Amino acid sequence: MTASAEARQAAGDEPVLKCIPGDFLVREALVAPLGARQDSQYRWMLLRKQGYTTVEAVDLVAEELAVSARALCYAGRKDEDAVTEQLISLEADLRDPRLEQQRWLLAATADRWVELRPYGFAAAPLKVGMLAGNAFRITVRNLPPVTAERIAEEREVNMFALNYYDSQRFGAPDGLKRTHVVGAALLAGEWQQALQTLSTLKAPDSAAAQAWLGAPKDFFLALDDRLTSFYLAAKASADWNDCLGQLVAKIPHAIHRVDGLEYRYAESQADTLQVLMTAPQIEYPRYSFVEGEVFRNPSTRRPSVVQAAVRVCANESDDRHLNRRKVTLEFFLRSGSYATAVVRQLLRYFAQT
């Protein structure tokens, strides 16, 4: 068990998410435009993993296949402290017998593994924006019996939640949540500050940042542009959260700290719907990093509130917390929304009823 999981278990009376990876199952949802092998330029594979970020898993696969990580494409990023399933694509003419296996297991240990399975062939690669959403099966532990019973009695909850970017957007599970600070430095052209901050985060790139002896900008030039763009996106996400928080400040709310970050949660679903009526969408700035330059792209609009039909699958004795209960939930969320943010707000509503 990781140190972060042990820390979550020692959370006292607080509900515990991601106690073990199997408590948090995620699968991407998208309609794959598959075709015949002879007419396709790209091979799509199902990537299952635990203990690796999507970027780390893609790097591992690329190393095994002796190709550049830039040759492998994906539609979204998945965290390491869960069991996740997503699609990746690579060029169809890549010859490696392992790609034809029904199951290719890489770097497998009890806590960390990556698995590939054939999925099909397509005329185009995967890219960001193709993802419709994600399906989740989540076990919440360390619940008081009365709260667990209240949730289980509902069987299905028509849930409205503030659509915050949750804390995992801003850093690794065991690291500081400051990827947005790296992005802010990149946006300002402060390359040394960006490198210094990144070196402290315990992120996948932090060790390389600590060891870097060249010009700070050259470090980010050497990264996959998608990764540098991620830090810029984290800055945009933090700004968006601030805008949402200002709206929530106008209604009954409570301030919660999650991994050192401050969130304002509404007191009830009715209050959350008040935010939805006031501002259904909030402008989201978009940045990209291409060939060493930061670009500001046309902004998009992101919903202030997300809706999910949350099905309650089980209410059981918690084998890891004495005299407590665990509840298993299933639901679907549109791409870009955070299941942990939805679950925290659901638990808050039921703890107050």
Q: Model confidence over 22-67: pLDDT tens digits? A: 999 999 999 989 999 999 999 999 999 999 999 999 999 999 999 9
Last residue of a domain, one of 230, 248, 272: 230
pLDDT tens by residue, 176-193: 999 999 999 999 999 999
Residue 128 located in a structural domain: no
Same domain, 204 and 312: no
- Phi then psi dihedrals of residue 273, to 5 deg: -65, -25
**Total domains, the chain:** 3
Residue 5 pLDDT exceeds 50: no
Same domain, 312 and 346: yes
What is each CA distance from 327 to 1, 160, 331, 335, in whole angstroms?
21, 19, 13, 24
What is the mean pLDDT of the segment spanning 155-172?
95
Residue 99 located in a structural domain: yes
Residue 53 located in a structural domain: yes
Average pLDDT, the chain: 92
Same domain, 45 and 93: yes
pLDDT at 6: 40
Residue 260 located in a structural domain: yes
Q: What percent of the chain has pLDDT over 70?
A: 97
Same domain, 201 and 328: no
Q: d(Cα 312, Cα 73) in Å, to the nearest integer? A: 34
Q: Tell me if 27 sits within 8 A of 100, measured CB to CB.
A: no
The SS3 of residue 191 is helix
The b-or-e profile of 268-281 (16+ CB within 10 A means b, else e) is ebebbebbbeeeee
Task: Note the pTM of the prediction, 2 decimals.
Answer: 0.90
pLDDT at 4: 41
Residue 86 located in a structural domain: yes
Banded model confidence at residue 204, pLDDT cuts 50, 70, 90: confident
Range with lowest mean pLDDT among 203-207, 212-216, 237-241: 203-207
pLDDT tens by residue, 74-126: 999 998 999 999 999 999 999 899 999 999 999 889 999 999 999 999 999 99
Same domain, 317 and 249: yes
Residue 152 located in a structural domain: yes
Residue 309 located in a structural domain: yes
Residue 7 pLDDT exceeds 60: no
Same domain, 219 and 241: no
Banded model confidence at residue 232, pLDDT cuts 50, 70, 90: very high
Same domain, 206 and 298: no
Same domain, 95 and 150: no
What is the mean pLDDT of the segment spanning 262-274?
95
What is the mean pLDDT of the segment spanning 297-325?
95
pLDDT at 129: 83
pLDDT at 353: 60
Last residue of a domain, one of 122, 156, 188: 122
Print the domain residue range for 212: 177-230
Residue 21 located in a structural domain: no
Banded model confidence at residue 10, pLDDT cuts 50, 70, 90: very low
Same domain, 282 and 144: yes
The whole-angstrom distance between residue 250's C-alpha and the CA centroid of its chain comes to: 28
Same domain, 146 and 283: yes
Same domain, 269 and 204: no
Residue 211 pLDDT exceeds 80: yes
Same domain, 221 and 308: no
Q: What percent of the chain has pLDDT over 90?
A: 81
Q: Tell me if 295 sits within 8 A of 236, measured CB to CB.
A: no
